Amino acid sequence: MLKRLPPPCRALALGLPIAVGWLVAAYVTGSPWLVLGLAAQVAWMRELRKQLSCSLNSKDEKEICRALSVLPEAPVAWDQILEDLPARRPEIAQRIEALGQHLQAERAEHERRVSELETNLGEETGFLARISHEIRTPLTSILGYSDLLMSEEMDDESRRHGLATIHRNGEFALALLNDILDFAKIESDALKIEQIPFDPRKLADDVVDTLQPEASRLNVRLQVQISPDVPDSVVGDPTRVRQVLLNILGNAVKFAPGGEVRIEFRFLEAGSQGGLLVIEVRDTGIGMSEEQLQLLFRPFQQADVSTTRRFGGTGLGLAITKRLVEAMEGDLQVKSSVGKGSAFTVRIAVGKSEERNEGATTSQILLQDLAPTVADSRPKVLLAEDSRDGRRLMSLILQKSGAEVEEASDGKVAVEAALRSEEDGTPFDLILMDMEMPVMNGYEAVRQLREKGWSGPIIAITGHTGIEEKQRCLEAGCTDALAKPVDRAQLTNLLKRYTVASRRPSVSGVPA
């Protein structure tokens, strides 16, 4: 297109970008040589404009020429810029200096982040190597003993030992997975803290009962003291408080073989709305040095490598514990001396509750008084689970607990089976629904059943954990939710809690 223009137009079109470049460079740097060059460019363009003549025949050429004839008016503004440049040079220099300082700060921050990422990467790489070892260790026992039990004749004592080893290592692998998931949830700010009433005394009893077998095995004496000022009921997150106490007390037992561990509960008033639940755990174990204390709450770290080899663990437990305590608006302090033991003090903010615990809890009353024995009621259960192995296992447990079980491999089959049982006048007393299934997932299956009038209990079985997942299941229409793996005691309690002696009336009104 430029070749078709007369020489003045072509020169102006080519010279305009050059002039703009001179202008920008002169404005930013304040160089006198660039200013002189810009002035020469402006004078040259004025001369070109005088020579410009739009006597062209082509319509396109006329348009181009008209546009070019307007652009050279810019020198009028450029004259003003040239006059202002000397006065603005200090301002320009100040801006350049500020820009340089900003770039230096950005570079320093970038280098700091790179260094931090390299450190974290090194820690996580070490953690992944350690976690790989920790996962392979229980899997070796599980797979090895499973192979022996399937392929060789074993006496009763060896068989019991093998089964106990498989069970123990399975529990360890599950605890390991839970630690990893909890840490990931905390790091992504996805952790939610509940605010519900609970009894600190019953929580303490539950934790001690859980750890007593391990304490007995290690010949550790457990002593519990609960101050009279601890309320019967407080408001907080009992699940997370229990997790914190299990982590700290579990460590104390592990590192104090043949010694003693004392647990003390106190309560500090903090106004009419609540106070601080103080839990102190003291042990007579191996203790820690100052250097080891510095690493205690860092993720992926342990006191030293020999600790991992001797006592196991991933180095996540106390890192999770500290973050959980902070999430509950509390703090965690530790004092320790090598060879003398350690003392952990946890303070957790809790609210006051008007509830009073008298005798059994609501769930215990349901189990003892309202629900009949499973053997007498012969409840009818629909089990929807896409995993054949999981379905077979849960079905076997339910049948041994006295239930009549019908299986479904996906949500669509489950909905059809449930509605068919209604039409036949023999509705299921309980539906166990896996929430992640092919064809139709559990959420959609539950919604459809509720929309069609199904009023019986539906229990979600989910591989996800946490308050958010349980809430999602409840919003879909589930009565309750359980996280996998579901054990025998949980399934038996479900039958007792959610089934009754008399059959539930069907949707059509015909008694089952």
Which positions ≥6 away from 120 have C-beta within 8 Å? none
Residues 377-386, mean pLDDT to the nearest whole number: 90
Average pLDDT, the chain: 77
Q: Could you tell me where the DSSP H helices lie in 74-155? A: 74-151
d(C-alpha 117, C-alpha 123), whole Å: 10
Cβ contact 296:304 at 8 Å: no
Residues 291-319, mean pLDDT to the nearest whole number: 63
Please choose, from the candidates 416, 227, 246, the residue with its C-alpha nearest in 3D space to the C-alpha of residue 320.
246
Which positions ≥6 away from 361 have C-beta within 8 Å? 202
Strands 404-408 and 341-352: unpaired
**Within its chain, how far is the Cα of 44 from the centroid?**
68
Highest mean pLDDT among 99-103, 208-212, 453-457: 453-457
pLDDT of 482 over the 60 cut: yes
Highest mean pLDDT among 94-98, 141-145, 270-274, 334-338: 334-338
Residues 204-226, mean pLDDT to the nearest whole number: 90
Q: Is 441 left (phi over 0), alpha (psi -120 to 50) or beta?
A: beta
Pull the structure tokens for residue 143.
């797979």
CATH for the 380-501 domain, from 3.40.50.1820, 3.40.50.300, 1.10.1200.10, 3.40.50.2300: 3.40.50.2300
Query: For 366, how many CA atoms within 13 A lie in the half-sphere containing its CB?
Result: 11
Q: What is the CATH number of domain 196-305+313-352?
A: 3.30.565.10
pLDDT for res 143: 87
* Domain locations in the chain as residue ranges: 2-74, 121-188, 196-305+313-352, 380-501
Please choose, from the candidates 362, 344, 435, 345, the residue with its C-alpha nearest in 3D space to the C-alpha of residue 196.
362
Residue 73 DSSP one-character state: G
Cβ contact 299:289 at 8 Å: no
10 Å CB burial of residue 388 (0-12, 13-18, 19+) is: exposed
Beta-bridge partner residues of 226: 265
Q: How many CB atoms lie within 10 A of CB 9?
A: 23
pLDDT of 74 over the 60 cut: no
Residues 133-146, mean pLDDT to the nearest whole number: 81
d(C-alpha 232, C-alpha 278), whole Å: 14
Burial 317-347 (b: 16+ CB within 10 A, else e): bbbbbbbbbebbebebebebeeeebbbbbbb
Pull the structure tokens for residue 286.
């191996």
Which positions ≥6 away from 428 have C-beta within 8 Å? 380, 381, 382, 406, 418, 421, 456
Domain 121-188 class? mainly alpha
pLDDT of 510 over the 90 cut: no
pLDDT for res 494: 83
**Within its chain, how far is the Cα of 199 from the centroid?**
27
pLDDT of 27 over the 90 cut: no
